[in-house]
Amino acid sequence: MSEEMKLRISSSPQIHSPASTAKTMWLVVLSLIPAGIWGVYAFGPRSIAVLAASILGAVASEYLMGLMLKKNTLRDGSAVLTGLLIGYNMPAEVPIFIAVLASVFAIVVVKWTFGGLGTNWMNPALAGRVFVFFSWTGGMSRWSMPHMVPDTVSGASPLGFLKTNLMNFSGSADGPMDFLAGQNYPVDSYMDLFIGRIPGCIGEVSALLLLIGGIFLIIVKIVNWEIPVFYLGSFALLTWIFGGLGYGNGFFTGDILFHLLTGGIMLGALFMATDIVTSPITRKGMIIFALGCGFLTFLIRFYGSFPEGVSLAIILMNIFVPMINRATQPAKFGKLPKEKKND
Amino acid sequence: MKGVKTFPRGGIHPHGRKNLTNKKEIVIADIPETLTVPMAQHLGAPAESVVAAGDKVKEGMLIGKPTGFISAAIHSPVSGTVKEITDVYLANGMKSSAVVIEKEEGFTPAVKTKSDSWKGKTPQELNDIVKEFGIVGLGGATFPANVKYMVPKGEKAEYLIINAVECEPYLSADHRVMLEKAAEIIEGLRIIRKIVGPEKIAIGIEINKPDAIEIMRRQAEAENFELEVVPLKLKYPQGDEKQLIKAVTGREVPSGGLPLAVGCVVSNVGTVNAVYEAVVLGKPLYERTVSVTGLGVKNPGNFLVRVGTPISKLLEACGGTIDRPAKVVVGGPMMGFSIYDLDTPVTKGTSGILVLTDKEAGSGARTACLSCGKCVSVCPMGLNPTKMFKFVDHGDYDGAMATDLMDCKECGCCAFSCPANIPLVQGMRLGKKMARKKKVS
């Protein structure tokens, strides 16, 4: 044995899985790319500018915070992911400064005032989006039709259109699809919703590609299936039960498919609610969290004054995560009967 | 697969790399000129050496006597002369007194002959042999076997469970012992059955060893020995006593309790062979099977090694190591110890010696905890590792204890899986140590 052989000494385990923080973040970024490509294709080159602005805003903020706090965290990919998600949550026609400000707020205020990655208690991307939504609602509502839709009449997303027009509606319709058709809104079939031939935020319109990305993340075990399944499931159930009431129909007539395929719920349930930092750590906790998200999304979407409920629902549930974690500690192996009673 | 059992909660699937050695027959390793035999090779109180420098010793002679209830006898692995009694560092970083023996010229191991005389002995007499011959658990924990086999009055061992899981990646020593010594194992089981008096005997083997499952089944059948061979799903840490009992019987050993609390006695399959050798061949425990493996070893293999052999000698027997190994590990990769001194001796607990490359060892930088919950989902004990670690990290040892730190057995599932590369197990160890210290002072 040679004298100069240098051996590493460490506590067990002596091997480590290939998982790392950076790998996790970059895989999430990767899984989001197809939906983004669709967004760029649908809404044109301006969406590239919006995405670039939000990513650059996030990365620059992360870099400057890192300089200030003497930490180099750029390589972990979390800032790029936050910026990308913010860009995905913007309409393509949004003023650029709004996209940048959303990212700066997300990184500087939401993420770093609490200590950076891992310690933020609210999803930074969603908080950034909500911040600019309430500050510049007009700018955040500049919708445009995807270029493949021939008549470019309205500038409203399906859900926004429903919200404003259903209030003054006195006729009858079978459901949202029927209603939209009656109002000459250019959506012909569920396929348009599924593929993403509708107005909306850059990254949220293609339910199909978001599903593919989400399922990929579940397969590579970065995302647990519990959150998306219970989120979408509880939301769908409530929609089915109560969703038809607004159209003058009875209970159990809601249009599940329409509501799952419109708005930000796919992006939210697959990529935002599942953010590992701001979701509970136990399986039971994840289920409670997801059920809460589904309920709040339903409440806001059907009875709130906003067309959308996903962002607010998730960040509201983010606030409850520490409590959920405390209430759903794992059950210890070999727990003594006496201890069980004391719980 | 139907009928294949496992424990329900947590666990991981690390890269096994068993194929490096599991086809390699056990080779008798060369006995070096000088052997360093530590007195602390087992769990419990170290033995006390009963020889002095200059003394002549014979192969199998007692050189260290047990010093307490939980302690074990140490025997000379060769005939020769005691050169000195000195202190050495063991693989686990502990200092131990050790007897350094110079092998006599022309030493050849004595040929052992079988004897059936044990059949006339009482269970107590048999367990005394287990004690006198220094038999300890060879799975790695090295708990004195006679203490384990001694069922206190009023308690009943319903199950004797033989641990042949070998869930640690890389290792195949137990696997090879089963393939090569099935008959001896059955005979050993007869002896232990007489000592412990269980109603049932089961042997748990993971299904990555189909040949071992087959051979144990066939051997038991051929000898008309009642043995339930339980195939187990591949999952670490199934070789842990508590997980194995859960997998085989569905029973949960209560927190802080022993297997006997649920009517079980668990013994490693290598230990069964050692009991056979002690009782039938009259051979004390001074040699064991060791897998020398890892991508950093030129020719991995399994060796029958005398206790006290320096690890460097074994690596030489494998054709040496590649240029830049990252780590040399004694034991399995999940719970073993990395060492810096290759002259560290092999002891009764050395199940493997691994030379790991950077690729295998992994060397990710630590980042902040992401609260991803991976550690919680893989913990077989149903603990919350990230919470415990945060308590320890903040110096709040009472807080850590209140989150059931003592139930952690340092299996390493959490630290292995942590994407942030947080040294969770190191934290748990520190926490336990500090908490004990506090208790004492």
Q: B137 and B271 in one domain?
A: yes
**Which among B250, B281, B312 is the end of a domain?**
B281
Record: contact B255-A21, CB cut-off 8 A: no
What is the pLDDT, as a whole number, of residue B405? 95
Terminal Cα distance for chain B, rounded: 53
- Residue B204: is its pLDDT beyond 60? yes
CB contact under 8 A, A11 and B426: yes
Q: pLDDT at residue A153 above 60?
A: no
Show the 3-state SS of B21-67: CCCCCEEECCCCCEEEEECCCCCCECCEECCCCCCEECCCCEEEECC
In this structure, the answer to whether residues B157 and B34 fall within a common structural domain is: no
Say yes or no to pLDDT of A341 above 50.
no
Which residue, of B265, B281, B297, is where some domain finishes? B281
The reported pLDDT for the residue numbered B139 is 87
Q: Which residues of B touch A118 (CB under 8 A)?
A: 367-371, 420
Give the total number of structural domains in chain B.
3
B4 in a domain, yes or no? no
How far is A122 from A109, CA to CA, in rounded Å? 11
* A83 vs B: CB within 8 A: no
In a shared domain, residues B213 and B291: no
Tokens for A280?
A: 């509970």
Put simply, whether A4 touches B (Cβ < 8 Å) is no
pLDDT greater than 60 at residue B101: yes
Same domain, B399 and B326: no
- A contact residues 221-260, partner B, Cβ 8 Å cutoff: 224
The residue of chain B nearest to residue A118, with distances taken between CA atoms, is B370
Contacts of B336 in chain A (CB under 8 A): 12, 14
User: Is B351 in the same domain as B388?
Assistant: no
**Over residues A35-47, mean pLDDT:** 95
pTM, to two decimals: 0.92
Substitution target from A17, A75, A323 for chain B, most B beta carbons within 10 A = A17
Nearest CB neighbour to B338, from listed A10, A17, A280: A10
Tell me the pLDDT tens digit for each residue of B262-272: 999 999 999 99
| pLDDT given at position B169 | 96
**Residue B8 domain-assigned (yes or no):** no
Q: Among the three residues B262, B281, B300, which one is the final residue of a domain in this structure?
A: B281
| B2: in domain | no
- Whether residue B331 is found in the same domain as residue B411: no
In a domain, B108, yes or no: no
Question: Do B134 and B219 lie in a common domain?
Answer: yes
The answer, yes or no, to whether residue B427 has pLDDT greater than 80, is: yes
Instruction: State the pLDDT at residue A1.
Output: 46
Task: Say whether the peptide bond before residue B237 is cis (omega within 30 degrees of 0).
Answer: yes
- Do B213 and B252 reside in the same domain of the chain? yes
Least confident interval from A7-11, A296-300, B35-39, B290-294:
A7-11
Contacts for B82 with CB less than 8 Å, ≥ 6 apart = B51, B52, B53, B54, B55, B56, B57, B63, B99, B100, B101, B102
What pLDDT digit, counting tens, does each position of B296-339 carry?
999 999 999 999 999 999 999 999 998 788 999 999 999 999 99
Q: Using CB atoms and an 8 Å cut-off, which of residues 270-299 of chain A contact chain B?
A: 276-283, 286
- Identify the closest residue of chain B to A223 by CA–CA distance: B372
Query: Residue A287 in 3-state DSSP?
Result: helix
User: Which positions in chain B touch A23 (Cβ < 8 Å)?
Assistant: 419
Structural domain that includes position B241? 116-281
CA dist., res. A217 & res. A267, Å (int): 13
What does the alpha-carbon distance between residue B87 and residue A275 come to, in Å, rounded to a whole number? 53
Average pLDDT over residues B424-433: 95
In a domain, B97, yes or no: yes
- Taking 80 as the threshold, does the pLDDT of residue A169 lie above it? no
d(CA A12, CA A207): 44
Q: Are residues B138 and B236 in the same domain?
A: yes
Beta bridge partners of B48: B65
Is residue B100 predicted with pLDDT exceeding 80?
Answer: yes
| Chain A residues in contact with B354 (beta carbon < 8 A) | 14
**Residue B28 CB coordination number (10 Å):** 11
Residues in chain B within 8 Å Cβ distance of A18: 362
- Residue B31 and residue B306: Cα distance in Å, rounded? 7
| pLDDT: which is higher, B208 or A141 | B208
Residue-level pLDDT at A145: 84
Q: Do B412 and A12 touch (CB under 8 A)?
A: yes
Nearest to B329 by CA among B352, B297, B300: B352
Please give the structure tokens belonging to residue B94: 């502990």
Which residue of A4, A9, A16 to mutate against B (max B Cβ within 10 Å)?
A16
* Domain co-membership, B163 together with B264: yes
Interface test with B, best of A2, A15, A26, A324 (most B CBs within 10 A): A15
Looking at per-residue pLDDT, the higher value among A292 and A337 belongs to A292
Q: Is residue B388 located within the same domain as residue B298?
A: no
Answer yes or no: is pLDDT of A340 > 70.
no
ipTM above 0.85, yes or no: yes
> Does B10 reside within a domain?
no
Q: Is residue B295 part of a domain?
A: yes
B340, closest residue in chain A (CA to CA): A7
Average pLDDT estimate for A40-57:
96
pLDDT at B2: 61
Same domain, B255 and B330: no
Residue B236 banded pLDDT, cuts 50, 70, 90: very high
Chosen from B255, B371, B411 to mutate, greatest number of chain A CBs within 10 A? B371
**Residue B169: inside a domain:** yes
Task: Read off the pLDDT of each residue in B72-96 and give the average, rounded to a whole number.
Answer: 95
